[in-house]
Structure 1
């Protein structure tokens, strides 16, 4: 009997930023192999990994990666995991226009976004920034650039949960990497 496998994408929050939470990508690939995950590839230095593992809940995969990172580095690094199909669905579900890919952000959350925490919140008060909610993602468009964007900071404070964001170019590159044969 063969074990069914799935392509996963792991997004690590807040690594290799300003000298904090240093995780070299070669070490991340080795760490994934040590867990038993195969064909690990990384993209950029910001904690993006694509790998193959036995089909299971993404929460279990995230927990395995978080636990192993904590044991190796002694830090609490949040990891959001999606299957290749889930990343494809997130890309296809994007309701906003992507002007410039580096000015468009997708924030991934481990659990469904609690919309009740955003009731009465008026995102248009932060125009020209825009946002749209999905089940476990929030899409942001920043026509004037991300550097001074306020909307994601305000939203994260309201949600009181950690997510991790990737610009549109990175999301689509990860999808292409995950869908490679």
Structure 2
């Protein structure tokens, strides 16, 4: 049976004092769901794991993980799951990479539902200078020239999508991609 590598992105885990989850507990939770080779990246809800082919679609896995988080750890968090190939496309689609001189200010906003990119089309057509905004197949890209908290583009996207999107900076996306491509 083939193995599929997936990446789960938990929204809002370990940001400030809310939704505190130890990464060892998160790895155990994912392992207990039947997934293998479970690894976390950083301390903020990034998990790379393997599952048997046909045993877990992305949306199905996201629901399983969300439910287990509440039942086993008492934490409610939105979960977005990508296949390793989708994460590779997220990396490939980044048209703002050359513009960004600080990977911590280059955000990748992974869409929980790729159809939501239609809601973001108007933002992609606006001039955000000195910021920038672009769309890919699975994510939006935001260059936050003056920092994430000062980003008008990030605020506009958040207003449109709320928790239907989860963001990671470019450094974290690259770490996840490297781990997802490992065999």
TM-score, normalised with respect to structure 2:
0.89
Q: Deviations over 1:76-111 (max 9, x none)?
A: 200111111110111011111232211100011111
Aligned to 2:108: 106
1:90 is the counterpart of 2:90: yes
Q: How many residues align?
A: 178
Gaps of 5+ in 2: none
**Distance in structure 1 (CA, Å) of the matches to 2:29 and 2:140:** 29
Q: Is the 8 A contact 1:38 1:53 kept in 2?
A: yes
CA distance in 2, matches of 1:90, 1:79: 17
In structure 2, relative to structure 1, the CA distance for the partners of 1:49 and 1:115 (3 Å cut) is: closer
Range 57-66 or range 69-78, more displaced? 69-78
| Cα distance change on mapping 1:120 and 1:19 into 2, 3 Å | closer
Structure 1 vs Structure 2 CA RMSD: 1.7
- Do the aligned residues in 2 keep the contact of 1:113 with 1:135 (CA within 8 Å)? no
Q: Which runs of 5+ in 1 are unaligned?
A: none
| Distance change (3 Å), C-alpha of 1:174 and 1:116 | closer
The 1:16/1:54 distance shift into structure 2, 3 A limit, reads same
**1-side partners of 2:119 and 2:178: how far apart?**
34
Q: Quick one: which of 174, 177, 180 aligns to 1:172?
A: 174
Paired position in structure 2 for 1:23? 21
Between the aligned partners of 2:82 and 2:152, the Cα distance in structure 1 is 26
Q: In structure 1, what is the equivalent of residue 159 of structure 2?
A: 157
